[in-house]
């Protein structure tokens, strides 16, 4: 299911701003957020760094756009909600396919006021739909998020997320 048009953050961007976001995403996945600078981004695009400020007022404004994009893509990937198993599998696949974008969108503070109103709620609502309860949905998301972070960081004792642990998570919430 695609993101509802009124929540789609990309519809508010010019074509050139979309190119900037795409390039930022490429640099983000290659280098991580902390090392992404407007200069490295400009180099990626083959333009002068000051030109970026025509499209984004700051690195934080660009971050907000990347977070909005991640929320949109995640919400789309999780739909339609059919089972807890499918939901958790798609969540894991989406997060591990774009680990730096995932980290950027799920850690640290975000400027909710700068996001399209309702996007964050829409993105996370599949967890409520799968469980039927807002607190149970948050618990499922928190568990899946924690497991994804452990997997991305190689923190499971085996060095990778044990499939039996993922199955137990699904069993618990199904």
Model confidence pLDDT, tens digit, residues 53-91: 999 999 999 999 999 999 999 999 999 999 999 999 999
Query: How far is the CA of 75 from the CAs of 29, 62, 72, 172, in angstroms?
Result: 20, 20, 5, 23
Domain map of the chain by residue range? Answer: 9-173
Residue ranges in the chain modelled with pLDDT below 50: none
Classify domain 9-173 by CATH number: 1.10.357.10
């Amino acid at each position: 299911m695609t993101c509802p048009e009124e929540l789609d953050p990309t519809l508010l961007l010019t074509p050139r701003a979309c190119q900037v976001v795409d390039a930022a995403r490429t640099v983000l996945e290659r280098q991580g957020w902390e090392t992404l600078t407007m200069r490295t981004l400009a180099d990626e695009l083959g333009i002068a760094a000051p030109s970026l400020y025509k499209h984004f007022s700051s690195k934080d404004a660009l971050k907000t756009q990347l977070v909005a994009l991640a929320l949109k893509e995640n919400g789309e990937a999780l739909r339609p909600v059919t089972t807890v198993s499918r939901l958790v599998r798609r969540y894991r696949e989406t997060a591990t396919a774009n680990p730096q974008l995932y980290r950027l969108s799920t850690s640290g503070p975000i400027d909710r006021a700068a996001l399209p109103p309702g996007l964050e709620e829409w993105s996370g609502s599949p967890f409520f739909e799968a469980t039927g309860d807002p607190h149970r949905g948050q618990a499922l998301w928190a568990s899946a998020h924690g497991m994804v972070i452990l997997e991305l960081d190689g923190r499971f004792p085996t060095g990778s997320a044990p499939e039996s642990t993922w199955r137990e998570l699904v069993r618990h919430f199904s």
